[in-house]
Amino acid sequence: MNSPGAPALEFRDIAKHYGETSAVGGVSLTIPHGQFVALVGASGSGKSTLLKTVNRLVEPTSGEVLFEGDDVTGLPLPALRRRIGYVFQSIGLFPHMSVAENIAIGPRLAGERLSRQRVGELLELVELEPDMADRMPDELSGGQRQRVGVARALAGDPHLLLMDEPLGALDPVTRDALGERIRGLHRELGLTTIMVTHDMAEALLLAERVLVMDAGAIVADEQPAALVAGKGGEVAQALVAVPRHQSERLAELSR
């Protein structure tokens, strides 16, 4: 099924309109295997819409998305979503299902059973105890729930991990710890990762490539060091200014 040598992901002139609103206005982009990409921008700039065209939660108005060389519209949905891990912003665990059942839901929809041992391994990947498998979501902290969300996204052994504001609902300490774990998993499992965030500091610290979106277009495509050095244009620099001012003020306090 895969085309040898194809990039992990290719967007070809993707546009999405909702009535009069243009959410995404003709984005073309190639993401090689193994890259950790952050998609950053203000609320409403089109980040989630673009991300969701990959696993077909959004059908684009025009253009195509190729996943490992295959047009995603030509792949059966369960198979496509099995090959692509997805972490929701709102965490989105099913409250009436145990942790183990939540983790196993993707494979189950694709007609497979996940062994108890595999659930335990997935929990260990996100630094949770295997005996958490029998707990219900409301018995977990927000950070633990989102760790389960990440374990669920990895249950189908995906090559590609899509994350929509995965750390947005978490306190700063938990956020930092889970961000680091996600970066570790990306490396250890050889994933290609795209993380949507409105937080430029998070993008700069976690990703190796930062795409900045504004009004449905990608307006900057830079490495973190280049953004910190002042590249990427006005919109990107306005976002970089926020963590820069914070770190300057912290540096002043320590003088």
Rounded Cα gap, residues 231 and 222, in angstroms: 8
The correct pick among 9, 47, 106, 206 for binding ligand ADP (CB under 6 A) is: 47
Instruction: Work out how close the CB of 189 gets to ligand ADP at its nearest, in angstroms, rounded to a whole number.
Output: 26
Kindly state the tokens that stand for 48.
């989630």
Give the position of tokens 């029998």: 134
The correct pick among 46, 85, 120, 149 for binding ligand ADP (CB under 6 A) is: 46
Instruction: Work out how close the CB of 36 gets to ligand ADP at its nearest, in angstroms, rounded to a whole number.
Output: 19
Closest CA to 14 of 41, 57, 49: 49
- DSSP code per residue over 93-161: --TTS-HHHHHTHHHHHTT-PPPHHHHHHHHHHTT--GGGGG--GGGS-HHHHHHHHHHHHHTT--SEE
Residue 43 as a binder of ligand ADP (CB under 6 A): the answer is yes
* Span interacting with ligand ADP, options 15-23, 118-126, 200-208, 244-252, rule CB under 6 A: 15-23
Instruction: Work out how close the CB of 60 gets to ligand ADP at its nearest, in angstroms, rounded to a whole number.
Output: 12
Q: 62 or 247, CB closer to ligand ADP?
A: 62
Rounded Cα gap, residues 186 and 150, in angstroms: 11
Residues 48-107, interacting with ligand ADP (CB under 6 A): 48-49
Rounded Cα gap, residues 215 and 49, in angstroms: 12
Q: 47 or 82, CB closer to ligand ADP?
A: 47
Kindly state the tokens that stand for 238.
């306005």
User: For ligand ADP, how many residues bind (rule: CB under 6 A)?
Assistant: 11
Residues 16-35, interacting with ligand ADP (CB under 6 A): 18, 21, 23
Pairing state between β 21-31 and 70-71: unpaired
Rounded Cα gap, residues 31 and 194, in angstroms: 9
Give the position of tokens 């060389």: 69
Residue 254 as a binder of ligand ADP (CB under 6 A): the answer is no
* Span interacting with ligand ADP, options 6-14, 41-49, 139-147, 218-226, rule CB under 6 A: 41-49
Q: 119 or 203, CB closer to ligand ADP?
A: 203
Q: 25 or 34, CB closer to ligand ADP?
A: 25
Q: What is the DSSP letter of 114?
A: P
Please classify residue 147 by burial: count the beta carbons closer than 10 Å to its beta carbon, then call 0-12 exposed, 13-18 middle and 19+ buried.
Answer: buried
Residue 128 as a binder of ligand ADP (CB under 6 A): the answer is no
Interface residues with ligand ADP (CB under 6 A)?
A: 18, 21, 23, 41, 43-49
